[in-house]
Each structure stands twice: as structure tokens, then as C-alpha cells.
Amino acid sequence: MDKGITRTEISTLGEFGLIEHLTKNIEFHNASTILGVGDDAAIIDHFGKQTVVTTDLLVEGIHFDLMYTPLKHLGYKSIIVNLSDVYAMNATPTQVTLSIAFSNRFSLEALDEFYEGVYAACNRYGVDLIGGDTSSSQKGLMISVTALGEVTPGEFVTRNGAKKGDLICVSGDLGGAFLGLTLLEREKKIYLESPQIQPDLEGQDYIIGRLLKPEARKDIIEFLGEQGIKPTAMMDISDGLSSELLHICKQSEVGCVVYEDKLPIAEDSRQFAFKLELDPTACALSGGEDYELVFTIAQEDYDKIVLSEKVSVIGYVAEAAEGARIITKGGNTHEITAQGWKAF
């Protein structure tokens, strides 16, 4: 954490000094941000749009491990995971609040690093940090982010509109973040047992990046808007594709059929899975934290989506009685479970 250059104790600033320090360079990107940090509350005006709100709590040792997560990446990801939920509603994120509790193990320089990531994400996605809270904690780091967004009235997309015959689509590729986590956990274990061994992360930038520096799929929401496609149901993939599919099936009262050979898996992910003797399909189905989008569209929208390299059609929505199933490359049918699939 401490790189041995300077270490400023946060207690030297006091809480208000700290907040002032952390928020002094804020610039607003949105007309909807009427009043930000610096009063008892912020004021936003979405000018006739509907407001989307989502919140997420990240706890050290539960959701992240600072042994292999740089603070800047953690700050970036804390914002991204919330923006991803706003995009999953077919909405545009506009503001975030950020609350953080930290023990005296964290210096001002460490917090600055964390906020560097926070502001990088805010700038990239054009959202305004408009408030939050800071506290000391007895142990570890806790981060709570709330994101607000706007959507044209009635244009939001929930999990419950999927209809029989709709096509199931996913953005990007799946399983990479899980494989990145598996790699970093493996190297951590080796390091703890024999600290003299250097971690071997060579050639694995892709999967490590998928875990430590995910992006929210703003581009997919824009693409769908340009194509005039409103998905019938949508979620972001935080817990794993199979878990998200089961949510959509349950809430839409439908079943689904997914084809193993249609699941998008990056070559880097596939290779690393083989190296560890893991099944890439299982990684794609149950590995979480990819922050891609899974959505269903009406069949007549197929032509508008088929040429996009960012979107894969992986299956179709079936009747509820058919359950949630995956058809393997060998032509076998398995039931999809929250853990991936039941192999019989």
C-alpha cells in the first residue's frame, strides 16, 4: 500500500478537510446536476425523465482483496459496477454518491489513488460525483456507491418482459473475470506459502483486466438505441450468465434454450481454462463479474443485431414448462442451474 514515498495520516486533515481535498476538482458533466457536494444534500433535476437508482456495497475481504487489487482499479470498478446496473435498465447514468470507511492503515496517498480511479470512471462515463460520506473503520475498507440515472418515461427495461420466441443475446465475452480471479487467487496462495517466488502472470493481461478493470456496456445501450431496439428484458452479468438467465426466466415466467457453441468466450480465456483443466463453458455460465449485458429481443429485431460483433445471439426464450436448458456441442440437453449446469 505505502510505497515508502510519503505517508500523510488522514487524521491531519480532519473529516471536512478530507472531503474538501477529495472533491476539490469536481467538474459536472450533466445539466441535471443542479447542486453537488458542499451542502446538506445534492439537487438533481431530470427534466421530465424518469429516475433510476441503484446501490452497491463493497467490503474488503468479501468483495475485493487488496493483495492483488490496486486501489486505483478498485475505485474505478466501484463506480463501474453501479453504472452497469443503470445501463441494464436501458437508462443513462448521470450522478453517483460514494461513501467510504477506512482504517488507519490507509494514508491520504492511498485514498488519493482510490479516488483517481473513481474520477477516471466518472469522466469516462460522463457522470457527476455529487455526494457521499467518509468515516474511519476499525478494520478494513468499505465502499458504498449509489448511482442515479435517467430514462425517457416508459423506456426502461426490466427482467420481466421476455416472451416465448424472443432471442437471447449477450454482449462481449464471458468467463474472463472468473478466470482472472482464479489466476490471482492461485498466485496469492503461492506467494503466501513461498514469498520468494515471483507471481507468474505473464501473457494473462486479458483475463486479469477483465477482473480488475471491467467496463460498463454504455456502447451496447447506445447501439440498441441507434438500431431502434428496445429489449424485452435485460440484466447485467454480475453473478454469472446462468444465474441471470434464471432470474429473467422466473420474473418473465418463461423458459429458455441456450446453445453451448454460441456462448462468446475469448480465446485468451479459453486457453487459460484449458491450462487449469477447467471447462470454458462452465466458466462462461457461472463465472461472475464480467459486467456484460444479457437481454432478450423480439425475433423481428434479429436483422438489426446480427452483424454486430459486440453482440452474440445465444439462444431463445421458451415456454416456462420447458425450463432453462443448454444444448451442448455434442447435442445433449442439460438443465441450467444457478451454479452453471446439471450434467444429468
Binding site for Mg ion (CB under 5 A): 85, 236
Sign of CA dihedral 55, 59, 63, 67: positive
Nearer to Mg ion, 42 or 234 (CB): 234
Q: CB nearer to Mg ion: give 73 or 159.
A: 159
Burial class (CB in 10 A: 0-12, 13-18, 19+), 157: buried
Q: Which is nearer to Mg ion, 9 or 155 (CB)?
A: 155
Q: State the minimum distance, in angstroms, from the CB of residue 215 to Mg ion.
A: 15
Residue 238 CB, nearest distance to Mg ion (Å)? Answer: 5
Residue 89 beta carbon to Mg ion: minimum distance, rounded to whole angstroms: 9
Question: 175 or 240, CB closer to Mg ion?
Answer: 240
Least distance (Å) from Mg ion to the CB of residue 168?
16
| Rounded Cα–Cα distance for residues 77 and 60 (Å) | 14
Q: Give a three-class secondary structure readout of 132-190.
A: EEEEECCCCCEEEEEEEEEECCCCCCCCCCCCCCCEEEEECCCCHHHHHHHHHHHHHHH
Sheet of strand 324-327: strand arrangement: 233-236, 293-297, 167-171, 311-318, 255-259, 324-327, 333-337, 340-342
Closest to Mg ion by CB, 237 vs 311, is: 237
Report, in Å, the least distance between residue 192 CB and Mg ion. Answer: 33
Nearer to Mg ion, 247 or 334 (CB): 247
Q: How many CB atoms lie within 10 A of CB 237?
A: 27
Q: Which DSSP letter does residue 62 get?
A: T
Q: Write down the least CB distance from residue 88 to Mg ion, Å.
A: 5
Dihedrals phi, psi of 118, to nearest 5 degrees: -60, -50
